[in-house]
Amino acid sequence: MSLELASEFGNVVLQAGEAGGPALSELGAAAIAVGLAAFGAGYSQRAIGAAAVGAMAENEDLFARGLILTVLPETLVILALLVVILLL
Amino acid sequence: MSTTGSSNPEYVNARVRARRAALFNDDEYRKLVRMGPAEIARYMEESEYKREINELGSRHSGVDLIEYSLNRNLAKHFNDLLGFSEGRIYDLIARYLRKFDAWNIKTVLRGVYSEASREEIDTDLIRAGEFDESFINRLLEASTIEDVITTLDGTIFGDPLEAAFEDFEETGVLVPLENAVDRTFYEELLADLPSSEPIDLYREFLEAEIDFRNARNALRLARSGTDIDPADYFIEGGQLFKARELDALVQDPEQLLTRIRDSSYGRELSGPLDELEAADSLIEFEHALESVLLKYSRRLGNVYPLSICPIIAYILMKEREVENIRAIARGREAGLSETEIEQELVIL
C-alpha cells in the first residue's frame, strides 16, 4: 500500500518537475516544516501530559505547574512558525 | 488494567513519585520509636494511614489496629498501582505483586490446615495481588486443602499445586505445597521477560533478590544445623548458587561466606559480612541484605526514571515502611528499649 503510494507520489513529483518549477513550492515546504515541528511537540506532550495528569491526580495543587510543563513543547511550533514567516 | 495496548510509564511514575514522597522519613521514625502503641496509632491517624485507622478503629485496638491498618494501606496502594497501569508496565508490576497472591494462598492453606475460622484467615490476608475480591472470597469459602487447589485451577499456581498435592497427601505436612507456591512465583517472575535496557536491569535486580533469598536460607540452614535438604528451599533463577552446590555449602559455613564475599555482591556486603563473622548475629546480616537491595532498587530508579525501576523501588520502600512500623509497635509492646528497636529497623 505505502509502496504504491510512494510510486504514485514519485509520478506526481516527476510530472511537476516536467512542468518546469521545483517539486515542492515554497508554501508546501513551509507547511511541511510547521507540520513536522507540531508533530514533535505533540509527541513530547504525550508523555508530559500523562505525567502531569498523574501528578494532578495525587495532588490537585499541581494543576498550574502541570499545565505550564505540558504547554512548554508548544514553543517548538511557535519557533517553526516564526522561521517560516521570516522566510516567506 | 490490561496487559495489552500501549504502556503508560509516565503516568504511573508521576503517581508513584507523589506516593513515595508520602512515606515516613528518618525523623518520623525517630519520633515513632519513642511512642507507645496508642500514640503510634494516633500519629498514623494524622498521616497517610488516616482512612484505614478510622475504618478499623472500631474493630481492633492497640498493636493489632496498627498492623491491620498497615496491611490494608499497603494493599490499597498496590491495588491502585495495578489499577492505573496499562500494557507492559502492568505486566511487570503484576509479576512482582503476585508475591501477595502467593502470600494469600499460603495463608489460606495454613488456615484451612489448622482449621482456623474464615474471619481469622480473612484478617491475615493482604489483598494486594492480582486476585480480585470475588476470587479471594471463593478461596476463603474452600473448606479443605483440595477445595483450595481446585479453586486455584486456571491460575498460574494451579498446576504446580496439583502436582505437589500428592506429596502433601503422603507426608501430611504443608511444606511441599508452600514450596510449590513460592517456586511458581519466582519462576513466573523471570519467565519471558521482554528485553530492553531498563528491563535487563530489572531482571538483574530480581536475580539479586533471588540470590539474597537463597543466601539467607542457606545461612539459616547452616546455623540451625538441621538435616533438611537445602535443595527443597532453593529458588531457581539466581546467579550466585546452583542447586547442586548448595548442599555442600550449607555443610561448610566458612566456604558459604567466602562464596558470598567473592561474588559480585561482595563489595556492598563486605561490611555486614565482617560483622557477621565477628558478632555471629544473623539478624543484622539479614537487615543488611535488605538495605543493600533497597539501595540497589533506588539506584536503578535514578538511572532509568521512566521505567519499571522506580516503581519497584517504591514497592520495596512501602513494604519496608510497613515492616518498620510493625517492628516499632511490636517492639514497644514487648517493652524493648529504643536502641533495640532501632536495630530492628531498616532505614536508608
Query: What is the domain range of residue B267?
Result: 193-304
Structure confidence by residue, pLDDT tens digits, B98-153: 888 888 888 888 888 888 888 888 888 888 888 888 888 888 888 888 888 888 88
User: Within a 10 A sphere around the Cβ of A32, how many other Cβ atoms?
Assistant: 12
Residues B126 and B212 in one domain: no
Residue partners of B78: CB distance under 8 A and separation at least 6: B97, B100, B128, B129, B315, B318
Does the distance separating the beta carbons of B17 and A50 come in below 8 Å?
no
Q: Are residues B294 and B211 in the same domain?
A: yes
Choose from A10-19, B198-207, B259-268 the range with maximum mean pLDDT: B198-207
- Is residue B140 situated within a structural domain? yes
Residue B154 in any domain: the answer is: yes
Asked if residue B336 belongs to a domain, the reply is no
Closest residue in B to A48 (Cα) is B10
> Model confidence over B202-223: pLDDT tens digits?
888 888 888 888 888 888 877 7
In degrees and rounded to multiples of 5, residue B94 shows phi and psi of: -60, -40
Report the SS3 class of residue B59.
Answer: coil
- Whether residue B102 sits in one domain with residue B144: yes
B237/B147: higher pLDDT: B147
Count: domains in chain B: 2
Q: Is A59 on the interface with B (CB under 8 A)?
A: yes
Q: Which three cell numbers stand for residue B180?
A: 510449590
Q: Are residues B202 and B300 in the same domain?
A: yes
Same domain as B210, residue B128: no
The nearest alpha carbon in chain B to A47 belongs to B10
Judge whether B173 lies within some domain.
yes
User: Which CATH number goes with the domain that contains B143?
Assistant: 1.20.1690.10
Question: B183 and B108, same structural domain?
Answer: yes
DSSP state, A62?
A: G
- Assign B4 a pLDDT band (cuts: 50, 70, 90): low
B212 and B139 in a single domain? The answer is no
Asked if residue B221 and residue B147 are part of one domain, the reply reads no
Q: Is residue B36 one of the residues assigned to a domain?
A: no
Q: Does A55 touch chain B (CB under 8 A)?
A: yes
Q: Which of B304, B324, B343 is the last residue of a domain?
A: B304
Is the residue at B135 inside a domain?
yes
CA dist B309 and B301 (Å) reads 5
In this structure, are B148 and B205 located in the same domain?
Answer: no
The string of pLDDT tens digits covering residues B280-324 is 677 778 888 888 888 888 888 888 888 888 999 999 999 999 988
Residues of chain B in contact with residue A47, where contact means CB-CB under 8 angstroms, are: 10, 306
User: Which of A53, A63, A65 to mutate to probe the B interface, most B CBs <10 Å?
Assistant: A53
Q: Specify whether B247 is located in the same domain as B288.
A: yes
CB B237 within 8 A of CB B189: yes
pLDDT(B227) > 70: no
The reply to whether B116 and B171 lie within a common domain is yes
User: Is position B137 within any domain?
Assistant: yes
